[in-house]
Amino acid sequence: MKTFFSLALAIALSFVSIGQTSTDDLTPQDPKAKAVLDKLSAKTKALKSLSADFEYRLENQAAGIDETQSGNILVKGSKYKLKLSGQEVICNGTTVWTYLPDDEEVQISNQDEDEEGSFSPSKIFTIYETGFKFKYDKEQTIGGNLVHTIYLYPMKPSEKNFHTIILNVMKADNRVHSMIVKAKDGNLYTYTLKNYAPDKAITDATFEFKVPDGVDEIDLR
């Protein structure tokens, strides 16, 4: 479950931080794709904060899996708060709390020491920063929205647990509409933004966590 949640968290936050990457760091295989990513980057860099809801879908035809869940993400600088699958992850820029209410447990770690690398939006979630080839696929309509579809492929696929990322960027306002991750184990992960509220007033207190009474603390620092 932790492996799934780590991937879910990384992809979910990539919705709001993908544009922080400069495409000058990417291998420019496709100028048209680069132009779209540059606009996405400029828009995201201008954000002071963001609130978004998203839908997560996991499919694996061979295993007969088709599951859909929903989540919410708040981001302000290096701080974030994520709710997904009965779990909450809160980061104040230094400390990360992973709260599992059903298990009455909270795991506490330093932001730069969490599994899978740092969960800071300015770091791991700029997943296209290095090591990817990219190409523009097409312009299409998804759910009534006109989007640019861009394919990304890791340049060192043996080091990744996926082989393809499909990014759909809204043509109207240069933000991420959805992302599809094709994993090597046959899993297909789809994340779609449902609500997008840029520059929402969010206090720093939102990103602090007080451990409830009766909850076990596991300090991993």
Dihedral of CA atoms 191, 196, 202, 204 in degrees, nearest 10, equals 20
CATH number for the domain that contains residue 112: 2.50.20.10
pLDDT of 133 reads 85
Task: Decide if pLDDT at 57 tops 80.
Answer: yes
pLDDT digits (tens, 9 = 90+) for 143-167: 999 999 999 888 888 888 889 989 9
Asked if 190 and 65 count as a contact pair (C-beta separation under 8 A), the reply is: no
Q: Tokens for 132, please give them.
A: 């990817």
Give the pairing of strands 145-154 and 162-170: antiparallel
Element at 7 (helix H, strand E): helix 2-17
Asked if 221 and 108 count as a contact pair (C-beta separation under 8 A), the reply is: yes
User: Greater confidence, 8 or 115?
Assistant: 8
Task: Decide if pLDDT at 62 tops 80.
Answer: yes
pLDDT of 8 reads 53
The DSSP 8-state label assigned to residue 35 in this structure reads H
pLDDT of 142 reads 96
pTM value > 0.85: no
The structure tokens 């300090």 sit at 219
Residue 215's domain comprises: 2-219
Asked if 23 and 41 count as a contact pair (C-beta separation under 8 A), the reply is: yes
Provide the CB-side half-sphere exposure for 97 (13 A, CA).
Answer: 22
Report, as an integer, the average pLDDT of 197-204. 92
Element at 58 (helix H, strand E): strand 50-60
pLDDT of 154 reads 85
pLDDT digits (tens, 9 = 90+) for 88-146: 999 998 999 999 999 999 999 988 644 443 334 443 334 555 577 889 999 999 999 99
pLDDT digits (tens, 9 = 90+) for 165-192: 899 999 999 888 988 889 899 999 888 8
**Count of domains observed in the chain:** 1
